Amino acid sequence: MKILATMKKELLLLIRDPGGMALLFLMPLALVVVMALVQDNTFREFQETRLDVLFVDQDRSELGSGIEEALQSGGNIRLITKEEGKILTVDRARTLVQKGRYKAAVIIPAEAGAALRKKTKQTAQAFLASYGFADGEQDGKESPRVELQILFDPVIKANYRQSLAGGLERILTGLQADWFMAEIQSRFGGITKLEGKKIDLGKMVKVTQKDATEGDSRAIPVNAVQHNVPAWSMFAMFFILYPLAGNFIREREDGSMLRLRLISGSTFPAITGKFFFYLVICLLQLVFMVGAGLYLMPLLGLNRLALGTNYAGIVLAGLAVAMAATGYGLLIAVYFKTAQQALSFGAISIVILAAVGGVWVPVLVMPPVMQAISPFSPLNWGLSAFNDLFIRSASTSAILPDVLKLTGFALVALLASVSIHKARTVL
């Protein structure tokens, strides 16, 4: 009953403080919406490398058409062959890239297809001749190397440059392999039983793409909403120390805490009541923020938050983060003697823990030094658990290490708070 009375008292204090209510619910909502909107394009760029590329085909042969078809089939490159209804020229493409209107242009020179065909034929003839299959139909001197050209905007990112150049090289290699095998088959047609048959190298190997998730669940692509909702929810939950520390220190300064201790005969009910009340507030914050991710974000043109399939795991992870946040806030409130000290240290420490833990930016884009420090932040434990649940559809056992670390952190903070408060209130 004493614990429930303490929880009721804290509820009345919170209701009478509209500013505190706004700090707990409205400010985190505004923060997560703003951060999701600001980072949306950044996450889209990080998630997929997509380019609008000018394509100038002066050859007009199967080489150009094969390259065009292969580049467009990848899904991350859109080829532009005309401007205002007119076929692009090399000079016009170079001008557009120089002005920064496009990041790259692929140039297929005239007669490139014929030259590559001839060089492939010569390579096949040399290969057969090395095994004694020369048939006297040798071409003349070796043809020079066929050169295709990619014009890049100097400010293009390195990953875009590598993606386009590497993709074009793989396409050319595949075309050359097909032509080489066709030439070999045509040479063997008269002396073997291979005539009329075609070797399909594509049937030898199949590459299957699959997301590394537990069971058959499909992984959810990382986007601004998937990152920011759980990240800033935890940030908001840890800022529970503001009303917690403010009320606690105010009660200690005006003598209310001493009177409560004299009535109950122990500090435990007061500490425990505060802990459970603000634990519930943290859970309400999480529900509020997740609801915003589910229903508000799509209205703003952002992705809808995907929760995965393990709802029990989400409840468990949320409870563990709420315990850690409340325990930390209670420890700050008990340890510092003035509200200014507690709130200043609490705010700065939470910002640091959030930055280190991957709230501001994902850990995987941090420098190696920061990635090594990140696992020591409680916010990183919570964010890691939520990412596993939301994005990877992980089982409860997979998030259990992070949940245990958060729970252990909460229990240590709670026990330290009780010990410190008891030591300072000894008469």
**Which range is most confident: 53-57, 350-354, 407-411?**
407-411
- Mean per-residue pLDDT for 143-156? 77
Percent of the chain past pLDDT 70, that is, above it, reads 72
Q: Report CA-CA distances (Å) from 174 to 67, 76, 138.
A: 10, 19, 24
pLDDT at 179: 80
DSSP 53: E
Higher pLDDT, 279 or 181: 279
Looking at the domain assignment, is residue 9 inside a domain? yes
CATH number at residue 173: 3.40.1710
pLDDT at residue 196, rounded to an integer: 47
* Burial class of residue 221, CB neighbours in 10 A (0-12, 13-18, 19+): middle
162-206 tens-digit pLDDT:
777 887 888 888 887 878 777 777 766 544 444 444 545 444 444
Tell me, yes or no, whether 235 lies in a domain: yes
pLDDT tens figures, 54-113: 888 888 888 888 888 888 776 677 888 888 778 888 888 888 888 778 888 888 888 888
Dihedral, 314, 320, 323, 328 alpha carbons, nearest 10 = -120
User: Domain boundary at 203, 235, 256, which?
Assistant: 203
- Does residue 317 sit within a domain? yes
Residue 217 has pLDDT above 70, yes or no: no
Establish if 342 belongs to a structural domain.
yes
Q: Please, what is the average pLDDT of the chain?
A: 77
Closest CA to 302 of 76, 28, 39: 39
The verdict on residue 213 lying in a domain is no
Cα→Cα distances 307→288, 313, 391, Å: 14, 10, 8
301-315 pLDDT, tens digit each: 888 898 888 999 999
- pLDDT over threshold 80, residue 131: no
Domain housing 103: 50-203
28 plus 67 within the same structural domain = no
Claim to verify: residue 76 and residue 109 sit in the same structural domain: yes
Mark whether 14 and 102 lie in a shared domain. Answer: no
C-alpha span between 151 and 105 (Å, rounded): 5
* Domain final residue pick, 143, 178, 203: 203
Please indicate, yes or no, whether residues 237 and 366 belong to a single structural domain of this protein. yes
Q: pLDDT at residue 414 above 80?
A: yes
**Are residues 305 and 361 located together in one domain of the fold?**
yes
Q: Answer yes or no: is pLDDT of 220 > 60.
A: no
Same domain, 32 and 94: no
Dump the DSSP string for 168-236: HHHHHHHHHHHHHHHHHHHHHTTTSTTTT----GGGT--PPP----STTPPPPPP-HHHHHHHHHHHHH
60 shares a domain with 38:
no
- Tell me whether residue 284 is in a domain: yes
Residues 97 and 143 in one domain: yes
Give the H or E element holding residue 77: strand 77-80
Answer yes or no: do 252 and 191 share one domain. no
In the three-class reduction of DSSP (H, G, I as helix; E, B as strand; rest coil), residue 359 is classed as: coil
Q: Which residue among 178, 203, 228 closes a domain?
A: 203
Say how many domains are in the chain. Answer: 2
Residue 376: band (very low, low, confident or very high) from pLDDT cuts 50, 70, 90: very high
pLDDT of residue 209: 44
Residue 65 domain flag = yes
